[in-house]
């Protein structure tokens, strides 16, 4: 067998990967006792293998998408995949995402766009309300692309005083201005060969916008106080919670910069438009908080869970994240309504209108929409009642109703119900 190294950087082929896996397997098969050092070495080899598989998968995706572009005689379109299939396909493609996602079609579309954008070098503009996960998505573009080994440098454009924008972004020479005590690299130089994330781009003052545009056009920067241009190879991802086109209309944002930044535009949906993800996020944050705080994962009383499922979340995922971390810190094993911040309990900002609410409080509905809403509400009540009767044992409920288990799970998810919440509390 030919020798190999585990440290090579180019993506290997399948044969080579299999060979490496076989060597690892036989090392482990014949090992009787492993020292810590040996375990570390094997772990290192596993990590390299994982990287290799990921880069192979990225290379394949790139080849596939190039081939798809060239193929003008595309076969007739296949039936659209279901949300479940789309999610599974993303996971199969080794899609890296530092969070959790379910079957919400809006979110899936966002992730799919980010995934497709990742291997290209095109600028991406991430739009979305505050706290929806814009920075997380920018990282998706970075981590799933060929620059994943390079730096990801985040700049909050809203937090830089106008007179320091140039120095912050492009760096300065010693003595360029009062206070410039030494040479300093700017964010663009730090992001070379990686990604620069221009957060809150809508807050960048017009003077900064002009300078940024010049750099994007020339792909060169000049440190303040220096005449020598420096070539920069950084991928641009920008984010905003503002309507940049409207700002273009009012002269607050340069149109040419807008079109340079928004070659690929992707919107992260607010949490109220992906409520079906709330149970997943709750579990994810309970686990994350448990790990951070060194405690067991927080449990939620059923009325608290219901409150969270109905709540409007004006602060989106960040708000849910903070609530769960706060309660994980303050509550014991199980959190209940009193553990919520007072302001939230006494005056929840925008609670989802209940399906039983009078119709005039909602936008006008067609007859079929009215029927659907009523049907959904009845279905939810039926499931809740059923779960109560079987003490939260979903398998038993499926058996009693002669229903397929996975169909029941789909229905529970649709209504944001967790069977666990209907289990009797331990004394």
Ligand X SMILES: Nc1ncnc2c1ncn2[C@@H]1O[C@H](COP(=O)(O)OP(=O)(O)OP(=O)(O)O)[C@@H](O)[C@H]1O
Interface residues toward Mg ion, by CB under 5 A: 135
For residue 327, the partner it binds in ligand X, Mg ion, none, with Cβ less than 5 to 8 A by kind, is none
Q: Which is nearer to ligand X, 99 or 151 (CB)?
A: 99
| Site of interaction with ligand X (CB under 6 A) | 99-101, 128, 130-136, 241, 281, 284, 317-318, 321
Q: Which is nearer to Mg ion, 135 or 265 (CB)?
A: 135
Report, in Å, the least distance between residue 362 CB and ligand X. 28
Report, in Å, the least distance between residue 324 CB and ligand X. 10
CB count within 10 Å of CB 397 equals 23
Report, in Å, the least distance between residue 348 CB and Mg ion. 24
Report, in Å, the least distance between residue 224 CB and ligand X. 27
Coil, helix or strand at residue 99: coil
Instruction: Let me know how many helices (H) and strands (E) the chain has, helices first.
Output: 17, 11
Report, in Å, the least distance between residue 111 CB and Mg ion. 17
Give the β-pairing of 195-199 and 184-185. Answer: unpaired
Cα(422)–Cα(298) distance, integer angstroms: 16
Q: Which is nearer to Mg ion, 97 or 422 (CB)?
A: 97
Report, in Å, the least distance between residue 135 CB and ligand X. 3
For residue 403, the partner it binds in ligand X, Mg ion, none, with Cβ less than 5 to 8 A by kind, is none
For residue 136, the partner it binds in Mg ion, ligand X, none, with Cβ less than 5 to 8 A by kind, is ligand X
Is residue 309 within 8 Å of 275, Cβ to Cβ? yes
For residue 100, the partner it binds in Mg ion, ligand X, none, with Cβ less than 5 to 8 A by kind, is ligand X
Nearest Cα residue to 153 out of 165, 135, 133: 135
Q: Which is nearer to ligand X, 59 or 242 (CB)?
A: 242
Cα(51)–Cα(74) distance, integer angstroms: 32
For residue 101, the partner it binds in Mg ion, ligand X, none, with Cβ less than 5 to 8 A by kind, is ligand X
98: tokens are: 């530092």
Which position's Cβ is nearest ligand X? 99
For residue 279, the partner it binds in Mg ion, ligand X, none, with Cβ less than 5 to 8 A by kind, is none
215: tokens are: 């750099």
For residue 208, the partner it binds in Mg ion, ligand X, none, with Cβ less than 5 to 8 A by kind, is none
Q: Which is nearer to ligand X, 135 or 310 (CB)?
A: 135
Which position's Cβ is nearest Mg ion? 135
Cα(310)–Cα(352) distance, integer angstroms: 5
Q: Which is nearer to ligand X, 101 or 170 (CB)?
A: 101
All residues at 6 or more sequence positions from 145 whose CB lies less than 8 Å from its CB, including other chains: 58, 118, 119, 120, 195, 235
For residue 128, the partner it binds in ligand X, Mg ion, none, with Cβ less than 5 to 8 A by kind, is ligand X
Q: Which is nearer to ligand X, 100 or 210 (CB)?
A: 100
Q: Which is nearer to ligand X, 167 or 316 (CB)?
A: 316
Q: Which is nearer to Mg ion, 135 or 183 (CB)?
A: 135
For residue 307, the partner it binds in ligand X, Mg ion, none, with Cβ less than 5 to 8 A by kind, is none
Report, in Å, the least distance between residue 311 CB and Mg ion. 21
For residue 133, the partner it binds in Mg ion, ligand X, none, with Cβ less than 5 to 8 A by kind, is ligand X
Q: Identify the DSSP state of 167.
A: H
421: tokens are: 């919440």
Q: Which is nearer to ligand X, 151 or 353 (CB)?
A: 151
Report, in Å, the least distance between residue 382 CB and Mg ion. 41
Report, in Å, the least distance between residue 327 CB and ligand X. 16
Report, in Å, the least distance between residue 139 CB and ligand X. 8
């Amino acid at each position: 067998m030919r020798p190999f190294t585990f440290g090579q950087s180019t993506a290997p082929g399948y044969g080579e990967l299999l060979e490496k896996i076989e060597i690892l397997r036989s090392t482990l098969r014949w090992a009787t006792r492993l020292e810590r050092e040996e375990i570390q070495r094997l772990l290192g080899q596993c990590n390299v293998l994982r990287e290799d598989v990921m880069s192979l998968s990225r290379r394949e995706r790139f080849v596939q998408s190039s081939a798809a572009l060239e193929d003008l005689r595309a076969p007739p379109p296949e039936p659209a995949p279901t949300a479940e299939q789309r999610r599974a396909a993303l996971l199969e493609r080794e899609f890296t995402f530092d969070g959790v996602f379910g079957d919400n079609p809006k979110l899936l579309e966002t992730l799919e766009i980010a995934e497709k954008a990742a291997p290209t070098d095109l600028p991406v503009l991430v739009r979305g309300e505050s706290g929806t996960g814009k920075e997380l998505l920018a990282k998706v573009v970075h981590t799933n692309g060929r620059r994943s080994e390079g730096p990801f440098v985040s700049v909050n454009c809203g937090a830089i005083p106008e007179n320091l924008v140039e120095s912050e972004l492009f760096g300065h020479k010693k003595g360029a201005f009062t206070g410039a005590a030494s040479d300093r690299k700017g964010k663009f130089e730090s992001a070379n060969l990686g990604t620069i994330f221009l957060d809150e781009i809508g807050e960048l003052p017009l003077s900064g916008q002009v300078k940024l545009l010049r750099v994007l056009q020339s792909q060169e920067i000049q440190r303040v106080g220096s005449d020598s241009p420096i070539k920069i190879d950084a991928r641009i991802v920008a984010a905003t919670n503002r309507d940049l086109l409207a700002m273009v209309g009012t002269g607050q944002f340069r149109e040419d910069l807008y079109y340079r930044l928004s070659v690929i535009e992707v919107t992260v949906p607010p949490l109220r438009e992906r409520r079906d993800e709330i149970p997943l996020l709750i579990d994810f944050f309970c686990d994350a908080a448990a790990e951070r705080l060194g405690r067991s994962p927080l449990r939620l009383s059923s009325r608290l869970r219901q409150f969270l499922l109905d709540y409007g979340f004006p602060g989106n995922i960040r708000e849910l994240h903070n609530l769960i971390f706060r309660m994980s810190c303050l509550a014991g094993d199980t959190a209940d309504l009193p553990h919520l911040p007072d302001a939230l309990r006494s005056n929840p900002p925008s609670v989802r209108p209940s399906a039983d609410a009078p119709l005039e409080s909602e936008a006008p509905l067609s007859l079929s929409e009215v029927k659907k809403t009523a049907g959904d509400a009845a279905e939810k009540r039926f499931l809740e009642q059923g779960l109560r009767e079987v003490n939260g044992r979903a398998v038993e409920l499926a058996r009693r109703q002669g229903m397929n288990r996975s169909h029941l799970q789909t229905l529970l998810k649709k209504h944001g119900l967790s069977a666990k919440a209907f289990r009797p509390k331990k004394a």
